[in-house]
Amino acid sequence: MAGNEAAAAEEIPIPPPLPPRTELSRPEIERYSRQLVLPELGVRGQLRLSACSVLVVGCGGLGCPLALYLAAAGVGRLGLVDHDAVELHNLPRQVLHRESRLGCSKARSAVSALRELNSSVQCVPYELALDRDSALELVRAYDVVADCSDNVPTRYLVNDACVLAGKPLVSASALRLEGQLVVYGHQGGPCYRCLFPKPPPPETVTNCADGGVLGVVTGILGSLQALEVLKIATGMGTSFSQVMVLFDALESRFRYIKLRPRDPNCAVCGDHPSVTALQDYELFCGSSATDKCRTLCLLRNEERVSVEEYRKILDSNIPHILVDVRPKVEVDICRLAQAVFVPLSKLQEKDEGCLQLLVQRICEARQMSSENSAFPVYIICKLGNDSQKAVKILQGLSCPGSGLISVKDIKGGLMAWATKIDPEFPQY
């Protein structure tokens, strides 16, 4: 392991510290004139900013506006971490990327855009997935860290690395029409583990790929992150190290929650820490360090069918019922014509109207079958996660009048159908 860590370390470009500066050049005075005249910032603050380095973890919806405003303001160096490539669905919120750079590395795409904006800012791309072998070395090389990731394992990883390296962490998240912001490990405030000592169950975590997000919400939270970084770098004002900021886009409202102080029993920043080195955070959280849609495994193999197997059932005209358990907003985007729409939320509530509809459709379809065995019911959703939850619910419910039924889910859901069966079916 030690040899592998050394090899990994050699591949990561670690720039030297930025030297302190004593004066601004004439072009810099002209470029930054509107912020230089602010008494809270002035020449002293601008010089501090030009000598500051910031590590941005994630070049997505939060990282793009954050990096954009930091580069525009004249931060000395930006390290941009992202192992992913630019995809079409990124463009509504990830404002550094362009159609012309689809398929390109997000880190390099971001660097390209930032250099066009401000060529005097040093931009260092890191095309890698941050892990325990690389995180601490990178974090130590920068003055401030901004967590713009979209998954729980990376949040714990970045937090622990910042605590061990003694660096302030500006963290934000955005989902659907809401967002939140906190500055961790700064001015005596708590770290992420102080507030969340244990990760949530993986099946309860929703990310942007699962739950959606409005692009401008990530823009607002990313801009707030940039503001906090600028304040820390220049010594201007106070930071949100003792407060969590909550943003509700639907009501255009900000709320502020006072945080508990640093926990002396915290596993990483407490008085007697038990976490003194980075660990396996995917194992710790029970989930993958990715912002892609997660894949759950709640059923046995015999309780599931592939999209190819379901296609054969359709082609053979075998009597059955297909139940689509997605929310109505997703059904409005696209659907299979033969599916009965029964949202998972209604099944979880044991809604009588939806259950009666399902029983009625099963009874109608059963009349077309000469088989006396359990009638097949297949469940589909977007990715094959909610469909498994629905199978569990239907297995435990009694549906009088429907007779024996066999309930299975379709692995990979409609996105697997679009990829493997019908390339014209929309992906979202």
Contact (CB, 8 A) for 63 and 110: yes
Classify each residue of 316-328 as buried b or exposed e, where b means 16 or more C-beta atoms within 10 Å of its C-beta.
eeeebbbbbbbbe
> Which among 321, 124, 291 has a CA at the least distance from the CA of 211?
291
In single-letter form, the type of residue at position 339 comes to: A
Cβ within 8 Å of residue 230, ≥6 positions away: 49, 69, 70, 73, 75, 236
> Which among 416, 417, 409 has a CA at the least distance from the CA of 300?
409
Three-state DSSP at 373 gives coil
Q: How far apart are CA 325 and CA 348, in angstroms?
A: 11
Contact (CB, 8 A) for 299 and 391: yes
In single-letter form, the type of residue at position 294 comes to: R
Contact (CB, 8 A) for 184 and 144: no
Q: How far apart are CA 6 and CA 10, in angstroms?
A: 6
The two structure tokens encoding residue 229:
């970084």
Element (H, E) at 339: strand 339-341
Residues marked as catalytic: 208, 381
C-alpha count within 13 angstroms, C-beta hemisphere, residue 124: 20
> Which among 172, 184, 212 has a CA at the least distance from the CA of 63?
172
> Which among 166, 144, 114 has a CA at the least distance from the CA of 226?
144
Cβ within 8 Å of residue 175, ≥6 positions away: 206, 207, 208, 211, 212, 213
Residues paired with residue 379 on neighbouring β-strands, in sequence order: 323, 409
Q: How far apart are CA 122 and CA 115, in angstroms?
A: 8
Contact (CB, 8 A) for 232 and 183: yes
Cβ within 8 Å of residue 21, ≥6 positions away: 47, 50, 51
Which stretches of 196-241 are DSSP H helices? 208-211, 215-234
